[in-house]
Amino acid sequence: MKVNGVLLDTSFFIRFLNDADPLFKNAMEYYKYFLSNDIKMYISTISIAEYCVGGSISELPLRNLAILPFNLNHATKTGEIAKTVFTRKGKLKLAERNIIPNDSKLFSQADVETSIIYYLSSDTESIKIYNLLQDEGQKPNFNFIELNIPPNEYFGYLDL
């Protein structure tokens, strides 16, 4: 049985945990939607590290999240994704090491984990990378959800 899941990135949690943020309402509505529709919510150890730069792990709703560690299969896929991104942008130089952005690492986790069918983010740079991968024929195995689109619009239900 395939579990439908969503990988929530750091930008989601920054908005979800700040009720003054303009995207707080959307974040809260997605969270409720996922809970009520049995869509398993994942948080990567990478996102936990990023969040803890400005926040505390105790603020994260870990009770309702599955923690996804970054493993060898994710690292291998990250190399493939980063190679495409660096090559396409003309930044790949074999004599030097490039720092792989966390977006590529998170994408690899969402791509490799078959239970994850969605990736939710408000990061405008992430969607550019997702679109670049599609343009280069590396269609990720997940759908990118932009947090600025309300869940009723994305999933097509009436918000009554």
Q: Residue 48: give its domain's CATH number.
A: 3.40.50.1010
What is the pLDDT at residue 90? 52
Average pLDDT, the chain: 90
- What value, to the nearest 5°, has the Cα angle with vertex 60 and ends 54 and 64? 160
Q: Is residue 93 in a domain?
A: yes
The reported pLDDT for the residue numbered 3 is 72
How many domains does the structure of the chain reveal? 1
Tokens 């997940």 sit at which residue? 142
Is residue 95 a part of any domain in this protein? yes
**What is the per-residue pLDDT across 93-143, written as a single tens digit (0 to 9) for each?**
434 445 678 989 999 999 999 999 999 999 988 888 898 889 888 899 999
In a domain, 159, yes or no: no
Neighbour-count burial for 23-33, b at 16+ CB within 10 Å, e otherwise:
bbebbeebbeb
Query: Is 158 part of any domain?
Result: no
- Looking at the predicted structure, is the pLDDT value of residue 22 above 70? yes
Integer Cα distance of 32 and 85 in angstroms: 34
* Contact partners, residue 66, CB within 8 Å, separation at least 6: 5, 40, 41, 42, 43
- The pLDDT of residue 138: 87
Q: Please, which residues have CB within 8 angstroms of residue 43's CB and are 6 or more apart in sequence?
A: 7, 8, 13, 60, 62, 65, 66, 67, 68
pLDDT for res 93? 40
pLDDT digits (tens, 9 = 90+) for 2-19: 579 999 999 999 999 999
- The residue with greater pLDDT, 40 or 90, is 40
In whole angstroms, what is the distance from residue 148 CA to residue 23 CA?
Answer: 7
In a domain, 59, yes or no: yes
What is the structure's pLDDT at 101?
83
**pLDDT of the residue at 31:** 98
Domain ranges, residue 148: 5-152
Mean pLDDT of 135-155: 94
Residue 58: pLDDT over 70: yes
Q: Is a pLDDT exceeding 70 seen at residue 91?
A: no
In a domain, 12, yes or no: yes
On the question of pLDDT at 76 being above 60, the answer is yes
